[in-house]
């Protein structure tokens, strides 16, 4: 497989033909990387070396990433079942299950020179000898005194859990009759130019205190997402995880879609239906670590400490209490790359949000480490080159096979070239998450009075992203909602959410402030913060409570593990106003496309007035964050002359505003320079409001 992905070459302009092929092409994007050319060459050469090795030994990445067609359970056309498992440290292995009465000796497997065990279970009278959805395990004899242990097959595609019997999962032989298998009916939508992501968790997607299902999500939540105007869904906690309260971050079965929410075909129906609604579907993929479970996970699978993971301290994440993959191992690469391929092929996902990328790229895993932005932090002994190279190869594989694929990196460090193609020496992601933005909002709401909000710092944080590398901005995600923190709406309004959100009650100063700032925070994040936007489900309407899953510490309560869509559906509650605004904001982006437009030009950051003005995608954005001052005939600069009209106002009564701004007003520019722009116009901008203006001819 060649190292060429042209998606980023365009940013190099006419120099694209002279890009060096040694991994230092990114230095033409960012000359500050030049002192680190040796490090860039080295990691690029490591990626090339791996790809060359895989080409020579496996016939290329394309074949290599089809591991799920070789390992695990493969049903042949004649209904024989071939089962293969890599377990190099094990002495002997046996296949056991319902099909053979759990006889621990009748079906011994053969081991080859590479540590792969294999067995064929012949068909009986032309029928599969292992019944569909029956329980199955591998029984391994390991060197430590001939100790024998039953495990769930590593490549198993379905596992179930009966909590009334045991917290440990059961592996299932998933082989439904051909006429009962889900057949995808809809073509996935084109890759969005502007990515507007609705981050969702199937299990919490009901107002009721229970685990919701794939089918309920398909029926009840997908239409909401489409109506709001999002064009992508990011599904969390799909890969089967041992502990519901981990939010999907303790994965024990990497090829199994969580059975908590229903059958595998129910997830396929969800994705297919989303595609029919024009929605791109991303999977939150957890390759940064794995559950330490021994009985139903990968940990100590073949009796060793170091099969899939690094051994000893290096293979353990001290904060997450989980195991860390050895990305320098040939078979681990096969497992993880095939895992990505499997979710794309079997379930028709459109891409991935890679969780915990910071942990993968650094030997310190980001623990107790602050990143100053100094380039020396991104190179040298603290960088886990094997982790970085794995991400390079994974992105290369995905982008070469799937031109529509979208990959998003969750990285807090700011690693340069994370979203630049491998051909230029980058890691190859399409987007990175702007993790500093929500941190700023939470910090200010906790620690500052509104009058002390720093307009310059707000703009800097929103604009502080690398040229040529796309960023997804968000005001809050699931991270901010998880217990231990509060949603923005809870920080803004706290107890009054329970007493004064009815339209029949008075609009108190606290609720007025909460509604106003909730809209303004989202709008400025959407307009100024990135090339993509993300919202966590429920936050678009100001979901009043945090997220806390049933666990011992809360009496196994589902009270906070649900999304109260009933609140936004209630015409007598003010939550509907925030949802109305969010939907209008997404619709305006769909029309004007500011997310895929060049970065904004900020013409005003006035600390005294608390006013921010910027232009992007031909729109003029004006924010007044002052807690008490309104401004009449406020002069703002604008580059393009003409007649402007308001296309979005946070003060609209339909959005819970006061209706003080006359949205029918026509604004005429004056050809006189102002704030570095060629023209100016004058607006009425009340306290805690924002307006977006467009040239009249674009309406």
Clarify whether 355 is annotated catalytic.
Answer: yes
DSSP-assigned letters across all residues of 591-659? HH-GGGSPPPEEEEEETTTTEEEEEETTEEEEEE--SS--EEEEEEEESS-SEEEEEEETT-GGGT---
Radius of gyration for the chain, computed over Cα atoms and rounded to the nearest angstrom: 27
CA angle 441, 443, 448 (to 5 degrees): 95
DSSP-assigned letters across all residues of 409-434? E--SS--TTTTS-GGGTS---SEEE-
DSSP-assigned letters across all residues of 326-340? -TT-HHHHHHHHHHH
Q: Provide φ and ψ at 678, rounded to 5°.
A: -75, -25
**DSSP SS3 for 251:** strand
Q: Which of 621, 128, 89 is nearest to 303 (CA)?
A: 89
Tokens 């030049």 found at: 34
Do 461 and 475 form a contact (C-beta atoms < 8 A)?
no
- The catalytic residue among 266, 269, 302, 410 is 410
CA angle 597, 600, 604 (to 5 degrees): 160
Q: Which of 155, 147, 75, 169 is nearest to 117 (CA)?
A: 155
- The catalytic residue among 355, 411, 479, 531 is 355
The DSSP output letter for 538 is: T
Query: 427's torsion region: left (phi>0), alpha (psi -120 to 50) or beta?
Result: alpha
Clarify whether 38 is annotated catalytic.
Answer: no
DSSP-assigned letters across all residues of 469-508? SEEEE-S--HHHHBBTB--HHHHHHGGGGGTS-BTTS---
Query: 328's torsion region: left (phi>0), alpha (psi -120 to 50) or beta?
Result: alpha
Q: Within its chain, how far is the Cα of 619 from the centroid?
A: 29
Do 81 and 128 form a contact (C-beta atoms < 8 A)?
yes
How far is 683 from 635, CA to CA, in rounded Å?
A: 7
CA distances from 399 to 331, 344, 404 (A): 22, 12, 8
The DSSP output letter for 379 is: S
Helix H or strand E encompassing 586 = helix 575-592
How far is 289 from 367, CA to CA, in rounded Å?
A: 14
**DSSP SS3 for 573:** strand
Which residues are marked as active site?
A: 355, 410
């Amino acid at each position: 497989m060649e190292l060429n992905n042209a998606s980023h070459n365009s940013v190099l302009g006419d120099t694209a033909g002279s890009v060096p092929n040694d991994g230092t092409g990114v230095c033409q994007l960012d000359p500050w990387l030049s002192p680190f050319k040796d490090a860039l060459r080295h990691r690029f050469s490591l990626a090339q070396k791996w790809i060359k090795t895989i080409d020579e030994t496996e016939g290329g990445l394309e074949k290599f990433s089809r591991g799920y067609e070789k390992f695990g359970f493969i049903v042949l056309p004649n209904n024989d079942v071939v089962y293969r498992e890599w377990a190099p440290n094990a002495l002997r292995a046996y296949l056991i299950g319902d099909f053979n009465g759990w006889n621990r000796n009748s079906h011994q497997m053969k081991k080859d020179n590479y540590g792969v065990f294999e067995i064929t279970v012949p068909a009986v009278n032309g029928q599969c000898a292992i019944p569909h959805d029956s329980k199955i395990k591998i029984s391994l004899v390991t060197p430590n005194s001939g100790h024998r242990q039953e495990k769930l097959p590593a490549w198993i595609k379905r596992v179930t859990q009966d909590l009334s019997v045991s917290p440990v999962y059961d592996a299932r032989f998933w082989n439904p009759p051909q006429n009962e298998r889900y057949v995808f009916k809809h073509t996935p939508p084109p890759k969005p130019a502007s990515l507007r992501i609705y981050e969702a968790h199937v299990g919490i997607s009901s107002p009721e205190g229970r685990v919701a299902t794939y089918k309920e999500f398909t029926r009840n939540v997908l239409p909401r997402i489409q109506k709001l105007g999002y064009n992508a869904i990011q599904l969390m906690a799909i890969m089967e995880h041992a502990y519901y309260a981990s939010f999907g971050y303790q994965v024990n079965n990497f090829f199994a879609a969580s059975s908590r929410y229903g059958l595998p075909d129910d997830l396929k129906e969800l994705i297919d239906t989303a595609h029919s609604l024009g929605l791109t579907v991303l999977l939150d993929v957890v390759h940064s670590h794995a559950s330490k479970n021994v009985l139903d996970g990968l940990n100590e699978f073949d009796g060793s400490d170091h099969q899939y993971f690094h051994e000893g301290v290096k293979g353990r994440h001290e904060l997450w209490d989980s195991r860390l993959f050895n990305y320098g191992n040939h078979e681990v690469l096969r497992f993880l790359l095939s895992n990505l391929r499997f979710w794309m092929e079997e379930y028709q996902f459109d891409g991935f949000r890679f969780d915990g990328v910071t942990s993968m790229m650094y030997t310190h895993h980001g623990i107790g480490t602050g990143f100053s932005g100094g380039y020396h932090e991104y190179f040298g002994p603290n960088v886990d080159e094997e982790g970085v190279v794995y991400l390079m190869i994974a992105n290369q594989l995905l982008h070469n096979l799937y031109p529509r694929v979208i990959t998003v990196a969750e990285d807090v460090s700011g690693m340069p070239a994370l979203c630049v193609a491998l051909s230029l020496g980058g890691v190859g992601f399409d987007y990175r998450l702007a993790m500093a933005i929500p941190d700023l909002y939470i910090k200010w709401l906790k620690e500052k009075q509104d009058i002390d909000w720093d307009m310059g710092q707000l703009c800097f944080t929103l604009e502080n992203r690398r040229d040529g590398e796309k960023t997804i901005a968000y005001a809050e995600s699931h991270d901010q909602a998880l217990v231990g923190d509060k949603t923005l709406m809870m920080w803004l309004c706290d107890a009054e959410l329970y007493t004064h959100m009815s339209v029949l009650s008075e609009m108190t100063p606290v609720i007025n402030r909460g509604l106003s700032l909730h809209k303004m925070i989202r709008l400025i994040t959407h307009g100024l913060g990135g090339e993509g936007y993300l919202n966590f489900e429920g936050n678009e309407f100001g979901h009043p409570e945090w997220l806390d899953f049933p666990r011992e510490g809360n009496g196994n309560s589902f009270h906070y593990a649900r999304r109260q869509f009933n609140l936004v559906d209630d015409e007598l509650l003010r939550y509907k106003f925030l949802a109305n605004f969010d939907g209008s904001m997404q619709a305006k982006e769909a029309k004007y496309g500011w997310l895929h437009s060049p970065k904004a030009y900020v013409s005003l950051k006035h600390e005294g007035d608390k006013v921010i003005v910027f232009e992007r995608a031909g729109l003029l954005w004006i924010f007044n964050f002052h807690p008490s001052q309104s401004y009449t005939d406020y002069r703002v600069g604008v580059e393009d002359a003409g007649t402007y009209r308001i296309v979005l106002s946070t003060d609209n009564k339909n959005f819970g505003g006061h209706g003080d701004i006359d949205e029918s007003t026509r604004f005429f520019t004056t050809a006189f320079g102002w704030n570095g722009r060629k023209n100016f116009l004058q607006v009425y901008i009340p306290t805690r409001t924002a307006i977006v203006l467009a040239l009249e001819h674009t309406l």
